Amino acid sequence: MSKRLADCRIAIVGLGLMGASLAMDLVQRKLCREVRGVARRTATVLEAFFAGAVDLATNDLQTGVMGADIVILATPVRTILDMIREIGPSLQPGTLVMDMGSTKREVCAALDTLPPQVQPIGGHPMTGKETAGFQAAEPNLYVNATWVLTPLPRTQPESIALATELVEAVGAWPIVLPPARHDELVATISHLPYLLAGALVHTAADMAARDATVWDLAAGGFRDTSRVAASDTQMFLDILMTNRVAVLDQVDRFMLHLTDLRARLAAGDEDALRQKLAHSQATRKAWTPRR
In the chain, CATH 3.40.50.720 sits at 5-177
- Say whether pLDDT at 1 is over 70: no
Per-residue model confidence as pLDDT tens digits over 103-151: 999 999 999 999 999 999 999 999 988 788 999 999 999 999 999 999 9
Residue 172 near residue 59 (C-beta atoms within 8 A): no
pLDDT per residue over 212-259, tens digit each?
A: 999 999 999 999 999 999 999 999 999 999 999 999 999 999 999 999
Residue 205 CA to residue 215 CA, distance in Å, equals 9
Closest by CA to 16, choosing from 155, 160, 128, 140, is 128
The yes-or-no verdict on residue 211 having pLDDT over 50 is: yes
Task: Tell me what pLDDT residue 3 has.
Answer: 85
pLDDT at 75: 95
pLDDT tens figures, 7-49: 999 999 999 999 999 999 999 999 999 999 999 999 999 999 9
The answer to whether residues 72 and 95 touch, using CB atoms and an 8 Å cutoff, is no
CATH 1.10.3660.10, the chain: domain bounds: 182-286
Predicted TM-score (pTM) of the model is: 0.92
Which pLDDT value is given to residue 131? 81
| CATH class held by domain 182-286 | mainly alpha
Residue among 181, 132, 99, 112 nearest 20 (CA): 132
CB 27 within 8 A of CB 52: yes
Share of the chain above pLDDT 90, in %: 94
Q: At 108, which helix (H) or strand (E)? A: helix 105-111
Which fold, 5-177?
A: Rossmann fold (3.40.50)
- Mean per-residue pLDDT of the chain: 95
Q: Is the pLDDT of residue 200 over 70?
A: yes
12-23, pLDDT tens digit by residue?
999 999 999 999
Name the burial class of residue 259, with classes exposed (0-12), middle (13-18) and buried (19+) by CB atoms within 10 angstroms of its CB.
exposed
Characterize the bridge pairing of strands 146-151 and 119-125.
Answer: antiparallel
pLDDT at residue 129, rounded to an integer = 80
